[in-house]
Structure 1
Amino acid sequence: MSAAQQRVRVFLDFDSTLTALEGYDELARMRGAYRAVSAVTRRAMAGKVDFIAALRDRLELIRPDAAMLAELARLYVRNMVAGAAAGVARLREQGMRPRIVSGGPREAILPCAARLGIAAADVVAVGLKLDAAGAYKGFDRRSEVLRPGGKASACGARVGPKEIGVVVGDGASDAEAKASGMLFVQYAGVVDRREVRPHADAVIRGRSLRNIDRHVLRAVARRAG
């Protein structure tokens, strides 16, 4: 393990990265509101809508309950991207502690994270509020990904002064890592968002994440060079 690898901190997006799904779209299908919600999702992922406003609008349309979140958790696991478990293991073997940073629903993400060997403490996502009967009551506005700077801020807070932060994901919120001095590896295996391509230090074009470590280290090497 090289000194450079020991200094790398990797932050993984979840929807359309570790899983082939967009969670809020799947919840919308369950609620019968897919068309309206997916339109908001596309605008948010392209950076055309403020993330918090988009999240609020989607959740008000969906109002997900406990049963829906449990079903989404099962769908996430069944639709895990090929090579995700192997790729996360390779990162860990090389000393690059992987974390999940997502604007998705934390309760549905945790079971898939556990399958990948990522502890709950290393999952930063949006907590949803439910009442005693399991009905939707809102979302946790204190989530780190909802603070100014969003994902980039949440990731940056976990990168030490002598460490290198690398964000792996598909969307505009992942590309914002560049503004915080981190590296951005675009995963285009599920959705190829061309508008974020110019910001990428490396691009994963194939579907599999088995060799994610190679792309992370390639981005790090390019900066060093």
Structure 2
Amino acid sequence: MEDQLNILKDLSKYRSPSEMDSYFNEIIATLKRDRLALKVSRLRKGWFKEFQEEFVPAYVFSLSPYFPKDAKVKIIIGNQNYDFVVLNPDGAEEKYEVSSYIDGEQEVAIAKALNKDGVWSSRLRSYEHLEEKTATYMEKTKNNIKKKSMKDYTDISLIFSVTTFQFAPVLNTRPEFSIENLVNFIQATPFRAKHIYLIVEDGKDSHTVGSKIIKVK
């Protein structure tokens, strides 16, 4: 498995948006060829955790209208209070912290099911059950946002990321669970941060998701 874990040996280096795009596609192509590496990545072993939780949001942000022209981005591996930096052409660096609610137990269950059988079923019993899952996800997402608001990120920009494609039927009919409602919640929450952004992973490709990043504050 050592070879699979070494796939991301060049994860932390400065890259332009086009270089981030090439690196992302290279890693995805490798995972498609190497089934063992794919299984390792699903379990988020080694640097695959940083790849999914830090590199991918940084890559998506580099595709947004808010990414500085001619800048480069680098993932920071370690226990800092930020996940990546953006290097501007003038040499100034900007720090970014990425945050999202992740159901660890469910992620492990999904990974194990995919690795064993190649498929995973959400086991939704009804539309009402989907409503319950949506309500829980949004509540825990807001709790995560509240926790972040209690920390000092004065010189750091925060990027919140939500995954919504599985909840689309509910988000489109229940205003209290909508992205607009979430944006209003973030706007009403006091932060000590430079800027606040929201990534909405709605199942579209990375370029589309990046183009629709919301700058909340």
TM-score (norm 1): 0.29
Larger Rg, first or second structure (1 or 2)? 2
Higher relative contact order (CA 8 A, sep 6+): 1
